[in-house]
Amino acid sequence: MRSIRAAALLAVLLLAAAPVRAAHVNVVTVDGSINPAVSDYLVRAIERSGDEGAEALLLELDTPGGLVASTKDIIQAMLNARVPVIVYVSPHGAWAGSAGAFITLAGHVAAMAPGTSIGAAHPVSIGAPGGGGKKEEGARDYAAEKAENFMAAFIESIAKQRDRNFEWAEKAVRESVAIPQDEALELNVIDLVATSRAELFEAIEGREVKLASGEVRTLQLREATVVEIPMSALNSFLDILSTPDIAMLLIFAGMLGLYVEFTQPGVIVPGVAGAVCLVLGFVSLQIIPFSWFGLLLMASGLGMLALEIFITSYGLLFAGGVACLLLGGSMLFDLPEASDLNVSFWSVLVPAVSALALFAGIVIVLVGGSLGRPQVAGIHELVGMVGRARSALDPEGAVFVRGEFWNARAAEPIAEGERVEVTAVQGLELRVRRAPDPV
CA-nearest of 105, 213, 88, 212 to 156 is 105
pLDDT band with cut points at 50, 70 and 90 for residue 361: confident
CB 337 within 8 A of CB 283: no
Task: Domain count for the chain, please give it.
Answer: 3
Across 90-104, 266-280, 401-415, the highest mean pLDDT is recorded for: 90-104
pLDDT of residue 119: 93
Residue 132 lies in a domain: yes
Is the same domain home to 52 and 188? yes
pLDDT band with cut points at 50, 70 and 90 for residue 380: low
pLDDT band with cut points at 50, 70 and 90 for residue 16: very low
pLDDT of residue 18: 38
Alpha-carbon distance of 166 to 160, in angstroms, equals 6
The last residue of a domain, from among 205, 235, 265: 235
| pLDDT tens digits along 261-288 | 877 777 788 889 989 999 999 998 888 8
Residue 11 lies in a domain: no
pLDDT band with cut points at 50, 70 and 90 for residue 210: very high
Is the same domain home to 306 and 333? yes
* N- to C-terminal Cα separation, the chain: 134
CA-nearest of 89, 26, 13, 87 to 57 is 26
Is the same domain home to 63 and 81? yes
Is the same domain home to 62 and 202? yes
Residue 13 lies in a domain: no
pLDDT band with cut points at 50, 70 and 90 for residue 40: very high
pLDDT band with cut points at 50, 70 and 90 for residue 378: low
**What integer best gives the mean pLDDT of the chain?**
85
Q: Which of 4-13, 32-41, 52-61, 341-350 has the lowest mean pLDDT?
A: 4-13
The last residue of a domain, from among 235, 264, 283: 235
Alpha-carbon distance of 111 to 39, in angstroms, equals 20
pLDDT of residue 225: 94
Residue 2 lies in a domain: no
Which residues partner with 209 through β-bridges?
A: 217
SS3 242: coil
Residue 15 lies in a domain: no
Ramachandran sector of residue 296 (left: φ over 0; alpha: ψ -120 to 50; beta: rest): alpha
Amino acid at position 348, single letter: V
pLDDT of residue 288: 83
Mean pLDDT over residues 12-34, rounded?
A: 70
CB 63 within 8 A of CB 96: yes
Asked if residue 80 has pLDDT above 90, the reply is yes
CB 43 within 8 A of CB 74: yes
- Domain with 103, as residue range(s), is 21-235
Query: Kind of pairing, strands 109-112 and 85-89?
Result: parallel
Q: How far is CA 47 from CA 98, 210, 324, 376, in A?
A: 25, 17, 46, 71
Alpha-carbon distance of 244 to 250, in angstroms, equals 10
Residue 4 lies in a domain: no
Asked if residue 59 has pLDDT above 50, the reply is yes
The last residue of a domain, from among 174, 202, 235: 235
Q: How far is CA 303 from CA 96, 332, 372, in A?
A: 42, 18, 22
Is the same domain home to 90 and 197? yes
Is the same domain home to 201 and 101? yes
Segments in 139-196 forming alpha helices (H): 142-161, 166-174, 181-186
Residue 3 lies in a domain: no
Is the same domain home to 247 and 156? no
Is the same domain home to 363 and 411? no
Alpha-carbon distance of 192 to 106, in angstroms, equals 15
Is the same domain home to 348 and 397? no
Q: What is the CA radius of gyration of the chain?
A: 36
pLDDT of residue 167: 96
Asked if residue 107 has pLDDT above 60, the reply is yes
SS3 60: strand
pLDDT of residue 55: 95
Q: Which of 36-45, 278-287, 330-339 has the lowest mean pLDDT?
A: 330-339
CA-nearest of 387, 380, 424, 427 to 404 is 387
CB 344 within 8 A of CB 134: no
pLDDT band with cut points at 50, 70 and 90 for residue 436: confident
| pLDDT tens digits along 221-259 | 988 999 999 999 999 998 988 888 999 999 999 988 888
pLDDT of residue 375: 53
Alpha-carbon distance of 126 to 156, in angstroms, equals 24
Asked if residue 17 has pLDDT above 50, the reply is no
Is the same domain home to 110 and 191? yes
Q: Which helix (H) or strand (E) holds 225?
A: strand 225-228
Residue 209, φ and ψ in degrees, nearest 5:
-130, 150
State pTM to two decimals: 0.72
Asked if residue 291 has pLDDT above 90, the reply is no
Is the same domain home to 226 and 268? no
Alpha-carbon distance of 429 to 409, in angstroms, equals 7
pLDDT band with cut points at 50, 70 and 90 for residue 15: very low
User: Residue 197 carries which DSSP code?
Assistant: H
Q: What is the CATH number for 395?
A: 2.40.50.140
Q: What is the CATH number for 213?
A: 3.90.226.10
Alpha-carbon distance of 160 to 168, in angstroms, equals 11
Segments in 225-268 forming alpha helices (H): 233-241, 244-263
Residue 197 lies in a domain: yes
pLDDT band with cut points at 50, 70 and 90 for residue 366: confident
Is the same domain home to 135 and 272? no
pLDDT of residue 52: 94
Alpha-carbon distance of 397 to 43, in angstroms, equals 85
Amino acid at position 414, single letter: I
| pLDDT tens digits along 146-178 | 888 889 999 999 999 999 999 999 999 999 999
SS3 419: strand
Alpha-carbon distance of 121 to 65, in angstroms, equals 8
